[in-house]
Amino acid sequence: MDRQLYEKISRWFDLHRDQMTGDIIRLVRIPSVSCPQDSAEAPFGKGCRDCLEEMLALGREHGFHTENYGNRVGSIGVKDKDWDNMIGFWNHLDVVPAGNQWAGDPFEPVLKDYFLIGRGAQDNKGPAVGILYMMKCLRELQVPLKHQLCLFVGCDEERGMEDVEYYTGHYPTPRLSMIADSGFPVCYGEKGIMEGCFHSRQAVSESVLELAGGNASNMIPDTAHVVLKASDQLVQALSDTGILQGTAPECLEHTDQMQRDKATAANGETNSHERIKAEWQDGAIRISAMGKSKHSAFPEGSVNAVHELLRFLSRLAPLPEQDRELFGRLAYLSEEYYGEHTGISGSDEISGRTTCAATVLQLQEGQAALHFNIRYIITADRVMLPARLSQAAEQNGLVWRTERDSAPNYFSREHPAVQLLTDLYNEITGSSAKSFVMGGGTYARKLPNAFAYGVGGMKESEEDKRIKKQLFLPGHGGAHEPDEGLNLRLLTEAMKIYAMAVTALNDCEL
Q: Looking at residues 237-259, what average pLDDT do you find?
A: 63
Stated as kind and residue range, the H or E segment containing 241 is helix 232-241
Query: What per-residue confidence (pLDDT) applies to 96?
Result: 95
Confidence of residue 507 (pLDDT cuts 50, 70, 90): confident
C-alpha 290/C-alpha 321 separation (Å) is 25
Please list the residues that pair with 285 across neighbouring strands.
Answer: 228, 280
Domain boundary among 372, 406, 440: 406
Residues 471 and 369 in one domain: no
Residues 31 and 114 in one domain: yes
Domain boundary among 406, 421, 437: 406
Residues 123 and 231 in one domain: no
- Of all residues in the chain, what percent are helix, strand and coil, respectively (each to 5)? 35, 25, 40
Residues 379 and 422 in one domain: no
C-alpha 288/C-alpha 269 separation (Å) is 20
Q: Looking at residues 313-328, what average pLDDT do you find?
A: 96
Confidence of residue 241 (pLDDT cuts 50, 70, 90): confident
pLDDT digits (tens, 9 = 90+) for 121-164: 999 999 999 999 999 999 999 999 999 999 999 999 999 899 99
pLDDT digits (tens, 9 = 90+) for 197-218: 999 999 999 999 999 999 889 9
Query: What per-residue confidence (pLDDT) applies to 271?
Result: 41
State yes or no: pLDDT of 263 exceeds 90. Answer: no
Residue 147's Cα: distance from chain center in Å?
32
The domain in which residue 200 lies consists of 194-406
Residues 14 and 140 in one domain: yes
State yes or no: pLDDT of 1 exceeds 90. Answer: no
pLDDT digits (tens, 9 = 90+) for 372-413: 999 999 999 999 999 999 999 999 999 999 999 999 999 999
C-alpha 413/C-alpha 436 separation (Å) is 9
The domain total for the chain is 2
Residues 35 and 161 in one domain: yes
Query: What per-residue confidence (pLDDT) applies to 267?
Result: 31
Residues 157 and 58 in one domain: yes
Query: What per-residue confidence (pLDDT) applies to 247?
Result: 60
- Amino acid letter, residue 217: S
CATH for 400 = 3.30.70.360
| CA 191-160-481 angle, 5° bins | 75
Residues 175 and 222 in one domain: no
CATH for 479 = 3.40.630.10
Residues 142 and 283 in one domain: no
Confidence of residue 269 (pLDDT cuts 50, 70, 90): very low
State yes or no: pLDDT of 251 exceeds 90. Answer: no
Residues 266 and 364 in one domain: yes
Residues 186 and 200 in one domain: no
Dihedral sign for Cα atoms in the order 46, 47, 51, 52: negative
Query: What per-residue confidence (pLDDT) applies to 245?
Result: 75
Widest CA span of the chain, in angstroms? 82
Domain boundary among 359, 380, 406: 406
Altogether, the residues listed in the chain come to a count of 510
Residues 402 and 415 in one domain: no
Helix (H, G, I), strand (E, B) or coil at 252: helix
Q: Model pTM?
A: 0.79
